[in-house]
Structure 1
């Protein structure tokens, strides 16, 4: 009798879910390609991470290669280059996050104050355009503009009498990398904030005006609370990928002279894995980087939820 009652209760819970699936089956069909592609290209390659724990040989294959456990990880952590590579990656990511995170928010707040639609669209076009420039082209522009005979150095020659070797000196690498990243990505990153601010009820600003609130007060008490949940999510995702720097730009900007600051984990993995052919070791370095990102994601999400009244990823 008791089992029958439990079965009836379970069927009552399942039946509405099945009815919902039948009613909205077409939405799940539309969702299916994205799920399948995610499984194939995101979860499928996780199988290859096994080689990080093996003495991988292409002839023996993944399963046939000898198991070495954590040897490749110990090799990386004890290597003379570990401290330099890890700190280069962490510094470049951390300073890039701190400096670039507020810029899209400021751009969105300023764009939100532009009332003429035509002017606003032209400004947005000007801000979004750099995002569509190829990384190769961006780096080429940097080498041209910052070369000893480039336009930037012409100013320094007039002021000091000699050019500055921007692309050859290690201390300038991070500054150039981060500033060029802000130029190419800040406008595009502001789109999500502009969209959120567009949903703010104009009556709130009208009422604040009647109460004597100035522009900064309206931004602080109306606009910023509106985009605060989005700010929290974007920050968490950015902090969770703090070590996932795009390898292409850093690799293209590298010179023999700036390696002390430009050698980061992604470029190291590329050189060890594809150029030197040590696939197991490079897989271990890449997996170490991914695990560190996951730890950062969980930690930052926990901290933001505590500080931001529950706004987080989960």
Structure 2
């Protein structure tokens, strides 16, 4: 049976995957992007801190990116990679439509899934007025009433961080640990209020967050609620190749060297799957960097083959 063959199959069609594919296509490499169509930042109306693209809807960036990749001969298909197995020095990659393609190298940029605390209403408002990253959303909630939902030991630092954008910050103790004496002094010095009690839900009016409702019925007014998501890598295809996950206080990630190369030869990663703190611009840069090193690796292999053939 004859399979379609590519220099590189890119798993994931977000900023990291598309920028990696763009770099590879411009290096005259045959590249296939398998796009699952589930970008992490889809709930957000706009992305920020991306030079020349600040405020652009996330979907618009991906639309432009797909057009650019195709403009250099790259191929993009919608679907999921079911498995990847080593075969003849490369990989046999099976898609969810049954199609099997071969790749000399893999770039996995499938990102992570944000698991939110089990509070009713968070998912529906995630990326709107339920937030996490201040560098993504801090400007948009400047001078507003911001509450931070404590679920881990880093909650006090989150509250102090958001204090840079607004003087109106409340730390909701919820299920988080008792702040240390140092943290209590810091919070008090910065004017951050502390409220005890578990949060049982949200108060919403006219499709806007107005407060966090405690278990006793008290509503703590806020216009934005900061939460910490537990980030779970979409790493099924990597685990099938023997790549393990590294635990992190905010979830897990795939460890890689500075080029993005994993512990599995021939397999690179880029974006949030390997850098949990990466914003869109960081993810895109990571994809480009990984692609450049993949091309270096392929050039070395092509050269070795040419030398062997000439001998």
Q: Which has the higher contact order (CA 8 A, sep 6+)?
A: 1
Greater strand proportion: 2
Larger radius of gyration: 1
TM over 0.5: no
TM-score using structure 2 length: 0.20
